[in-house]
Structure 1
């Protein structure tokens, strides 16, 4: 199957100090990764961002968003050079495509390698995202995403988090009906916040009760702690919310409807 005949072309957006040679290299590497995709890729968009900053050891960032017949996959990587970031991006994207095919073939939401509850081990640890050192007084919530959280198991939430290459995933625990969050641990494996099931207790780390906070209180907590996000319940509605740090130094907010 040729990419030109069957797959959508790879769109590449350049930001910062990135040249056309990096564009061509990213197109070639991502097209190669997508050649294993079944079913067909409907859209593939890559963003390459490099901003010279001596204080940031991994200034090159590459991220990809791929639509595989209605299923969204994402992957991102940071590295000292753009070539290294694109190489890591290709490897991470290829792994997600294989996982999607495994799920489609077996009709199971989390297939992992072989064992049950593979989410306890999770993806390979990766380098943390270097946050732009934006002054606290200039930080804003620049992205707000609200969604109806579908009830699911922790296995399902962990699998979807992995496909999207996120560091956390907000969902409704199918056992308790309450807001819950699965998240990556720096040393590898997954932790769980909010779910009360036996499955959650078996996680590497488990925190059963998120705090009730206002958005302002969550921001104070995020700015005071070294954690990349704060999971909390809206003080008025009880719905789950996550305030998180973006790599550009601003904040993002995810809320349940």
Structure 2
């Protein structure tokens, strides 16, 4: 007698930030369920976060952040914006599906993901005097080679990625270079020459600047950069102060090492 193997119930979670019509939320959940079904049994769960903050001075106010967990691949994520919530859902889930398939079948996302999307969420206009650090996040830094860190950054659709460089043991960061579509590596305390890489990855000739939080905030304000990677004068650890899409700031710090 053959026993039928049933796939467990699809794990889909839709999170809402702000006020959204129930019809849009139901549409987002149905599209997420269809995505998991199309990706097959190695797709474990999907998460979709929707936001349409009021009063944002942007032309694409609806933001959809979508992610899926794939067996033997890990987490794939994308965050994109559109005029309406449903447009943002379709755009994010469609892009996510394409990236997931390429990762699963080819082991890489593809050249299209290596360039900034024109549908990336926009920064809200906020006077500098009103900007605050509204989110602080401490994370354990995974050991990666710079090339592995770049590929992880692409899979997670980040502008930058903080990691522990296995070549030197230093807190390090890779980030996109929007001008030429390449990537840049910055280490906390010193520089070493990279070996060969299959990616357009260059290394900063200078270590991360040593800045306290007020100094890093001033640099972020004056330069209008999306982030500032720096080392803390107290513990020497690398950290990233970055601009949030709501116009405020966020701070990422590594988890303190046990003594």
Compute the TM-score of the two structures, normalised by the length of structure 2. 0.79
Match of 2:85?
A: 82
* Residue 174, structure 1, aligned to residue 166, structure 2: yes
3-state SS in 1 of match to 2:63: strand
3-state SS in 2 of match to 1:88: helix
After superposition, the Cα gap between the structure-2 partners of 1:46 and 1:112, relative to the gap in structure 1 and judged at 3 Å, is closer
Tell me which moved more, 61-70 or 240-249.
61-70
* Structure index of larger Rg: 2
Unaligned runs of 5+ in 2: 1-5
Q: 1: distance between equivalents of 2:143 and 2:47? A: 29
Match of 2:204?
A: 207
Shift of 1:63: 1.0
Shift of 1:62: 0.8
Q: 2: distance between equivalents of 1:48 and 1:134? A: 21
Unaligned runs of 5+ in 1: 104-109
Matched-pair contact (CA < 8 Å) for 1:171–1:181: yes
Question: 1:233-252 to 2 correspondence within 5 Å?
Answer: 233-252=231-250
Per-residue CA deviation, residues 31-90 of structure 1 (Å, 9 max, x unaligned), is: 22222155241x433222123547311111111243446943322111122222112201
Q: 2: distance between equivalents of 1:21 and 1:44? A: 19
After superposition, the Cα gap between the structure-2 partners of 1:165 and 1:256, relative to the gap in structure 1 and judged at 3 Å, is same
Match of 1:72?
A: 75
After superposition, the Cα gap between the structure-2 partners of 1:111 and 1:39, relative to the gap in structure 1 and judged at 3 Å, is same
Matched-pair contact (CA < 8 Å) for 1:168–1:184: yes
Shift of 1:231: 0.6
Per-residue CA deviation, residues 167-201 of structure 1 (Å, 9 max, x unaligned), is: 1101122222222211123253322222632358x
Shift of 1:211: 0.8
Per-residue CA deviation, residues 104-151 of structure 1 (Å, 9 max, x unaligned), is: xxxxxx6455xxxx7xx8534313431222332332222222233232
Q: 2: distance between equivalents of 1:102 and 1:155? A: 19
3-state SS in 2 of match to 1:97: helix
Alignment length (residue pairs): 241
After superposition, the Cα gap between the structure-2 partners of 1:75 and 1:178, relative to the gap in structure 1 and judged at 3 Å, is same
Matched-pair contact (CA < 8 Å) for 2:36–2:43: no
